[in-house]
A = this chain, B = another copy of it.
Amino acid sequence: LRKCLYNAGFRPGDIVMNTFSYHLTPAGIFLDDACNGIGCVTVPTGVGNTEIQVKTMAGLKINGYIGVPSFLMSLIKKMEELGHDTAKGLSMEIALVAGEILSPSLRKGLNDYGIIVRQAYITAELGGVAYECPQENGMHISDDLYIEICDPVTGEPLPPGSIGEVVVTDFSNECYPLVRYGTGDLSVLDEGECLCGRTSYKLKGIMGRADEVTKIKGMFVHPRQIDEAAAKFSDEIEKIRVVVTRSGVTDMMTVEIQLKHGVAGIDTLKTAIDEKIRESTKLRGNTVFVAEIPEGSKKIEDKRKWD
């Protein structure tokens, strides 16, 4: 991860806000350590608290950002809402983003504020797997790793140029070697030469998930978590599904529920379900009661468009 950050342009003395969660997921602490390791001052702002984060950003003249890209845009929009003159120039110069798909329009939006945006592909088990160079058209694979692109069902390696699951072998960590670790992420290997001069192969971005697991606001959500939350309401709920959409740069999670016949006390139920979903997914969703959830629907319906 130090290499990731250094390649992205982070340098000793930079003041960097790390907006990944330090709680229950390793991203926050991993990147905090890496960021301190290259001599930056790391400000552990974590998730949420947008208004306080904006004050921190302005007050400390923060010039580096680590987190999901959409949250950086939310911070800038909040700054403008609070009357900061972002046209005069933000102190923010460089962002290392990970954890969600970066759309070309969002990258351009951030570039327009004078921010260099570099993507990284990071997992809890492996740390930094791959990172963008200034060419910004794919992520160079970390030297320590051996990567295969495989059929997600059979696990067999696929021919060059195929979309498949990223499978990683890593002997660099002696305490925790990993052999053919299936990340569940879909990508394509790019074996071509890169104009930046780096010779390692690239991953052409992350194209989605091999299974039904979906990443919402940077957090994995598995159908099982939805079922778990719904299980406490088995007397009331006939069917449940989650619909993921995107409003501007923000993921929206709607929990659709088809109730059993004659269920009453809907307001109380909505509050209770919202709470369970939050406990189970760590995300705030909006519960709506629908007449019918179509037969054969996916438990998590991803309707986001990545323009």
Contacts and interface: CB of A to CB of B under 8 A. Distances in A.
Interface of A: 21-24, 28-29, 32, 44-52, 56, 279-280, 282
Interface secondary structure of A, over-half rule = loop
Nearest to A24: B45
B45 A23 contact: yes
Contact of A49 (B45, B48, B282): B282
B46 A23 contact: yes
Nearest to A42: B29
A303 to B, nearest CB: 26
How many identical subunits does the complex contain? 2
Nearest to A47: B23
A24 B282 contact: no
A44 B24 contact: yes
Contact of A23 (B24, B44, B280, B282): B44
Nearest to A228: B51
A292 B50 CA distance: 32
A19 B279 CA distance: 16
A267 to B, nearest CB: 13
Contacts of A49: 23-24, 279, 282
